[in-house]
Structure 1
Amino acid sequence: MSKVVLITGGSSGIGKSIGEFLSSKGYDVFGTSRNPDRYPNSKFKLVALDVADIISIKKAIQAVVETSGRLDVLINNAGSGITGPIEEIPDEEIKRNFETNFFGPINVIKSVLPQMREQNSGLIINITSIAGYMGLPYRGIYSASKGALELVTEAFRMEISGFNIKMTNVAPGDFATNIAAGRYHAPVLDNSPYKETYQNTLSMMDAHVDSGNDPKQMARAIYKIIETKNPKIHYKVGAFMQKFSIVLKRILPDKIYEKLLRNHYKL
């Protein structure tokens, strides 16, 4: 029997690539979108879900279970980017980012756990970010929301281990997707003390995404994890130097690592 997979944020980018790849491997894939009708040519089923709306979450999961009779794998992929000097990002945008990147995934997890407990099996994969391992300039809020999900996963997986439900994090680096177009950008203000350094960093970030790896690399990594009997706690997927930056943070003194980042971003 094919495993039933639910991917939040499955209409574009990494989520779409994962869904198409898993479908080609015989999985019964459901993706989510706030407006699934906009994607009539999707190669797998799309259901309506807004991670900031708990009623929407519960309806989507109920629809998947009623259609397929079970839910074997949840991939918490829906997320949003945010950039800007922390001093200048409006509070409502900070809260909105955490709603999408942190509280949303937690609420989806809470909503699938009863079904997975009933099955006595399940796998939950949280898509975080290599940026979640370090506080990056002008991406501090994004780093914080993804880092929070990394840490809560460590606790969550121990709490659910007695139910034969597995949980893991997958932290991607830069991939060639449309995340830059969809992220919230604090405007570059003419009278801002951060104007020059923020503009330079913003241009650098967009260039990294544009030249990023093919999201199919993430799809293949997710497939391998699903096929693994006992997944690890953390996975990193991306360019060597992006993954190596996490190693450097572990072994270098804090101020030396900070100096490397400041030099990289020309701060």
Structure 2
Amino acid sequence: MSKVVLITGGSSGIGKSIGEFLYHKGYIVYGTSRNPELVLNSVFPLVALDVRNVESIQEAVSKIIATTGKLDIVINNAGVGITGALEEIPTEEIKNNFETNFFGPIEVMKAVLPQMRNQKSGLIINITSIAAYMGLPYRSVYSASKGALELITEALRMEVKSFGIKITNVAPGDFATNIASGRFHAPLVKGSAYEIPYGNTLKMMDEHVVSGSNPNEMATAIYKIINAKEPKIHYKVGIFMQKFSIVLKRVLPDKVYEKMLMNHYKL
């Protein structure tokens, strides 16, 4: 019987690419969207789910299990970007980001773990970011929320391993998606101490997304992970220099690495 896959945030970008790839490979794919009725071009069914709303998570998961009788793979893909000088990002927006990027995936995992434990099998893939491995200027909140998800995944893997459940992180670099249009940008404030460096960094970030890799690369990577006998704890998907930046973070002295980042962002 084909494996059942749930992908949060499956209506666009990386989530949509993963869903379409797995659907054409014969998997039973369910994506999620806050407003699935507005998505007209999905090749796989979309169910209503808002990762910030526990009831909607539980309803969506229950609906899929009631329809298929099982849930084999869950891909926590839903996420949002956020940029700005930390001093100028409203605290409410920081909390909103963590609700989507951190607490949302936690609630999804809580909702699916009982079914996977009953099955004595299951795979959860948390989509994080290469930005999770370092504190990036003007992306502090995004780095923090994705980094927190990386760490909680490490811990949860050990807690559920005896139940036959596998969990892994996949950290993408820059991909050509609509994340830039959906992220919260702290406004550029005329006369602010951060006006020029933040403006320059914001322009650079948007250029990186526009020239980013094809999301199908993520889909291929996810497919390989699903078929791995023992998935690793961490995967990185992106161009060489993005992945190599994590290696440099491990081996370089902190201040040398900091200087390297500041040179990159022209700070």
Alignment of 1:7-46 (within 5 A): 7-46=7-46
Secondary structure of 1:160's match?
helix
Alignment of 1:162-201 (within 5 A): 162-201=162-201
Give the distance between the partners of 2:40 and 2:71, measured in 1 at CA.
24
Number of the residue aligned with 1:98 = 98
TM-score between both structures, scaled by the size of structure 1? 1.00
- Whichever residue aligns with residue 160 of structure 1, its letter is V
Secondary structure of 2:46's match?
strand
Alignment of 1:1-267 (within 5 A): 1-267=1-267
Give the distance between the partners of 2:256 and 2:117, measured in 1 at CA.
46
Give the distance between the partners of 1:57 and 1:200, measured in 2 at CA.
38
TM-score between both structures, scaled by the size of structure 2? 1.00
Give the distance between the partners of 1:181 and 1:229, measured in 2 at CA.
37
* Deviation for aligned residue 1:63: 0.7
- Whichever residue aligns with residue 62 of structure 1, its letter is S
- Please identify runs of 4+ aligned residues in structure 1 that moved more than 4 A: none
* Deviation for aligned residue 1:191: 2.0
Unpaired segments of 5 or more residues in structure 1?
A: none
Give the distance between the partners of 1:5 and 1:32, measured in 2 at CA.
11
Secondary structure of 1:124's match?
strand
Give the distance between the partners of 1:22 and 1:94, measured in 2 at CA.
33
* Deviation for aligned residue 1:30: 0.1
Map Cα deviations across residues 126-180 of structure 1 (whole Å, 9 max, x no partner).
0000000000000000000000000000000000011000000000000000000
- Whichever residue aligns with residue 2 of structure 1, its letter is S
- Whichever residue aligns with residue 37 of structure 2, its letter is D
Give the distance between the partners of 1:189 and 1:45, measured in 2 at CA.
42
Secondary structure of 2:100's match?
helix
- Whichever residue aligns with residue 143 of structure 1, its letter is S
Identity %, equivalent residues: 73
Give the distance between the partners of 1:145 and 1:39, measured in 2 at CA.
28
- The number of residues matched between the two structures is 267
* Deviation for aligned residue 1:40: 2.3
Give the distance between the partners of 1:40 and 1:263, measured in 2 at CA.
44
* Deviation for aligned residue 1:41: 2.1
Give the distance between the partners of 1:192 and 1:27, measured in 2 at CA.
51
